[in-house]
């Protein structure tokens, strides 16, 4: 029987968690990784008034001593056949099972809390909160009215369009991302669009930048990386863009505000995207409570994994 002290909650494709677990093993073997797709391969016994147990490949895990959780993914990916007419019901049952089970670990430290993560991923709320905390944000509009969208675009020298959600599309046979993209009024004017769109569009004025900044926060530790990209693409995250990275020091007042934002949203870990303008201004774009970080550790030798493990232990 194993009594794990740490749970890693994610899905099978999460390579960053596997990287972190390899480092975690050097300090402790008391952990359990749970992938939502593996529910059919795991055996659970949950007593809401007492202990919960899990059997993985005939190994018994007593979950009574879990005191930290690394949470990466909402439990939503399951291996139900696409043609199963009961798929929506079964997947909803599984999702609620996992969420209910995880909420019983209320005394554990969560990186990050499950529903706080859910809230913090809402970009409209992020911008509202960041602005209230004194961070500079882009001029923005979220609307499903075609004319108001056109008026906004025509009022800017340049604009971008971005997903209201995280933009990650997970289909049966492919996974891809929708990135932030430059947009012109003609992109709307040339289309036979209805007066109101089926879903609101998220538009912002395009801010010219001298560099993009990725800030990774773990507890009170802050790693700021300047990203300088080649070309005129808007979104540096596109894999084909050539870019270079360098560590930088942010102004103390900006660091204080970012740490306050992270704490207000209930986060221990987050990845924050900023723009550094040619005038030296820092503009807040968004915060990602499950943003990737492993490539920065490899590129620059910074110890993000060590800080995460320190928090977990």
What is the pLDDT at residue 38? 86
What is the pLDDT at residue 91? 82
What is the pLDDT at residue 33? 95
Count of CB atoms within 10 A of residue 291's CB? 18
What is the pLDDT at residue 173? 63
Residue 207, φ and ψ in degrees, nearest 5? -95, 120
Secondary structure of 243-280 in the HEC alphabet? EEEEECCCCHHHHHHHHHHHHHCCCCEEEEEEEECCCC
What is the pLDDT at residue 77? 65
CA 105 – CA 108 distance, rounded (Å): 6
Strand-strand pairing, 6-10 and 109-111: unpaired
Report CA torsion sign: 100, 102, 103, 105: positive
What is the pLDDT at residue 11? 86
What is the pLDDT at residue 74? 67
What are the E-state strand segments in the chain?
A: 6-10, 31-35, 42-46, 52-56, 59-62, 68-71, 109-111, 140-145, 159-162, 168-170, 175-177, 181-183, 196-205, 211-218, 221-229, 243-247, 269-276, 282-288
DSSP sequence for 9-37: EE-TT-HHHHHHHHHHTTT---EEEEEGG
- Retrieve residue 1's tokens: 């029987």
- Retrieve residue 91's tokens: 């997947």
Residues 267-295 have pLDDT tens digits of 999 999 999 999 999 999 999 999 999 99
What is the pLDDT at residue 34? 92
Q: Over the range 44-79, which residues count as b (16 or more CB within 10 Å of their CB) and which as e?
A: eeeeeeeebebeeeeeebebeebebbbbbbbbebbe
Q: Which domains, and CATH codes, for the chain?
A: 6-111 (3.40.50), 139-205 (no CATH), 208-312 (3.30.470.20)
Residue 302, φ and ψ in degrees, nearest 5? -85, 150
What is the pLDDT at residue 171? 58
Query: Is the separation of the CB atoms in 292 and 299 below 8 Å?
Result: no
What is the pLDDT at residue 223? 97
Over the chain (313 residues), what is each successive 10-residue block's mean pLDDT? Answer: 94 90 95 88 87 91 95 72 77 87 92 93 95 95 88 87 74 67 75 68 88 96 89 63 87 98 97 94 95 94 96 96
What is the pLDDT at residue 194? 62
What is the pLDDT at residue 201? 87
What is the pLDDT at residue 281? 95
What is the pLDDT at residue 210? 85
> Terminal CA-to-CA distance of the chain, rounded, Å?
20
What is the pLDDT at residue 191? 58
What is the pLDDT at residue 280? 93
- Retrieve residue 83's tokens: 């043609």
């Amino acid at each position: 029987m194993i009594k794990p002290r740490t749970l890693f909650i994610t899905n099978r494709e999460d390579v960053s968690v596997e990287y972190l677990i390899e480092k975690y093993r050097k300090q402790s073997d008391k952990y359990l990784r749970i992938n939502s797709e593996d529910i059919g391969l795991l055996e659970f016994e949950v007593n809401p008034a007492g202990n919960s147990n899990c059997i993985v490949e005939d190994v018994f895990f007593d979950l009574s001593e879990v005191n930290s959780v690394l949470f990466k993914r909402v439990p939503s990916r399951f291996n139900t056949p696409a043609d199963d007419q009961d798929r929506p019901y079964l997947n909803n049952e599984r999702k609620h099972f996992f969420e209910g089970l995880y909420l019983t670990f209320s005394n554990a430290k969560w990186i990050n809390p499950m529903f706080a993560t859910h809230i913090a991923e809402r970009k409209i709320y992020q911008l509202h909160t960041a602005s209230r905390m004194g961070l500079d944000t882009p001029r923005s509009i979220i609307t499903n009215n075609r004319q108001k969208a056109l008026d906004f675009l025509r009022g800017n020298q340049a604009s971008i369009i971005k997903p209201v959600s995280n933009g990650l599309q997970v289909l049966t046979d492919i996974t891809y991302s929708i990135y932030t993209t430059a947009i012109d009024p003609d992109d709307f004017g040339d289309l036979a669009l209805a007066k109101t769109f089926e879903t609101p569009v998220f538009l912002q004025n395009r801010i010219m930048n001298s560099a993009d900044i990725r800030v990774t926060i773990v507890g009170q530790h802050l790693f700021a990386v300047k990203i300088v990209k080649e070309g005129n693409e808007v979104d540096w995250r596109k894999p084909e863009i050539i870019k270079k990275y360098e560590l930088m020091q942010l102004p103390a007042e900006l660091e204080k505000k970012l740490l306050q934002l992270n704490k207000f949203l209930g986060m221990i870990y987050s990845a924050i995207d900023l723009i550094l303008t040619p005038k030296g201004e820092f503009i807040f774009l968004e915060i990602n409570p499950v943003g990737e970080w492993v490539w920065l550790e490899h590129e620059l030798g910074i110890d993000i994994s060590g800080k995460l493990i320190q928090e977990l232990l």
